[in-house]
Amino acid sequence: MTHVFLVGAGPGDPELLTLKAARLLRAAGVVLHDSLVDPRVIAIAGPAARLIDVGKRCGRHAASQAQICRLLVEEARGGHNVVRLKGGDPMVFGRASEEMDALRAHGIAFEVVPGITAATAAAAALNLSLTQRGVARSLHFLTGHGAQGGLPAHDFVSLTKSGGTLVVYMGGETLPGLAAHFIEAGMPPDMPAILIENASLPSRRSVAATIATLPRLHAAQAASGPVLILIGEALGDASEIAAVRSRITHEEEQNIVSVA
Ligand code: SAH
């Protein structure tokens, strides 16, 4: 019976791939992969595998989601051994529901293989626990990018009140707006915030700041890889944050807040 595997490729470092993902890749006839997937992970596929890049990065659409779904169904019907390889975990901001719906609609069986999501890769890279007893009792994964572009309509007040650790995916471009909304919602301007680019890869860079100062520092950083933003008291443990906090004067913060 035809079977499609929706496989998590992890955050980049090929060693963070699951054994199951590697086994399925080696056996794949066709691999449909995103552009964020590390070439070394794609290279695990056997020489006979057909590789199809359906990748899309913000603003540069290689294939629409509808086209990807159609392709998945076609390849599966063609009897090929199909692996749909997605960055991180397929079930976290991976549009897996559309693909599962399309497969279900055509009676094609599928299985999802989890991967390490960017949030946990970032936590590992920063030596930061995302939850902490008595400090951060919840963890929230947010998108920084609305379905129609721009900032999504999150409940910024509830998120701020939760006191949990906030992890923003796809938030590089909307960071100034995000920061302004959180501060307006009552978040203290000196709330620790860290941005990490290319978590798990040697090219990783991070900027430790506060919610008020991060947008300006990120703009200066000119990131070219995927970036993740982490916000919350749990991050106060990062040694970089302590240094940043003591450097920033109250006056500076006020200036930056009004710019944001
Ligand atoms: N399914 C993926 C997320 C896809 S959305 C996962 O579970 O990780 C794409 C966003 O993920 C990027 O905009 C960025 O915010 C984040 N991301 C993915 N890989 C990353 C990495 N190596 N470092 C930092 N952020 C990453």
In whole angstroms, what is the distance from residue 136 CA to residue 162 CA? 9
Give which of 187, 96, 177, 95 is closest to 144, Cα–Cα: 177
Mean pLDDT of 201-206: 95
Using CA positions, which residue lies closest to atom 24 of ligand 1?
227
Q: Do domains 4-113 and 118-258 have the same CATH topology?
A: no
CA–centroid distance, 100 to ligand 1, in Å, is 20
* Atom from ligand 1 closest to the CA of residue 169: 15
Mean pLDDT of 2-8: 91
Query: Domain 118-258, what fold?
Result: 3.30.950
pLDDT tens per residue, range 159-193: 999 999 999 999 999 999 999 999 999 999 999 99
CA–centroid distance, 222 to ligand 1, in Å, is 17
Instruction: Answer whether residue 82 shows pLDDT above 80.
Output: yes
* Atom from ligand 1 closest to the CA of residue 204: 23
pLDDT tens per residue, range 97-113: 999 999 999 999 999 99
In whole angstroms, what is the distance from residue 118 CA to residue 10 CA? 7
Instruction: Answer whether residue 245 shows pLDDT above 60.
Output: no
In whole angstroms, what is the distance from residue 234 CA to residue 132 CA? 6
How much is the pLDDT for 249?
A: 47
Q: Are 159 and 185 in contact (CB under 8 A)?
A: yes
DSSP string, 19-82: HHHHHHHHH-SEEEE-TTS-HHHHTTS-TTPEEEE--EETTEESS-HHHHHHHHHHHHHTT--E
- Could you tell me the pTM of the whole model? 0.90
Tell which one of 6, 228, 230, 231 to mutate to probe ligand 1, the residue whose CB is within 8 A of the most ligand atoms.
Answer: 228
Residue ranges per structural domain of the chain: 4-113, 118-258
In whole angstroms, what is the distance from residue 231 CA to residue 162 CA? 12
Instruction: Answer whether residue 24 shows pLDDT above 70.
Output: yes
Cα dist from 71 to 44, 47, 186, whole Å:
22, 21, 46
Q: Which residue has the tokens 């590697």?
A: 22
Name the CATH architecture for the domain at 4-113.
Answer: 3-Layer(aba) Sandwich (3.40)
